[in-house]
Amino acid sequence: MTFIALTLFEGIRSITSPLVQPEAQLRENLLKEIPLGTQMNNVIQIIKSNRDWAIDGIDYEHGFRRSGSGENEIIGEKSIRLSLGDYRIISNYYFITDVSVFFSFNVNDQLIEIWVWKTTDGL
What does pTM read for this prediction? 0.79
Domain that holds residue 39: 2-122
CA-CA distances (angstroms) from residue 30 to 13, 34, 118?
21, 6, 15
| Positions of the chain with pLDDT under 50 | 3, 5-6, 8-15
Amino acid at 80: I
Task: State the pLDDT at residue 68.
Answer: 65
Based on the structure, what is the number of domains in the chain?
1
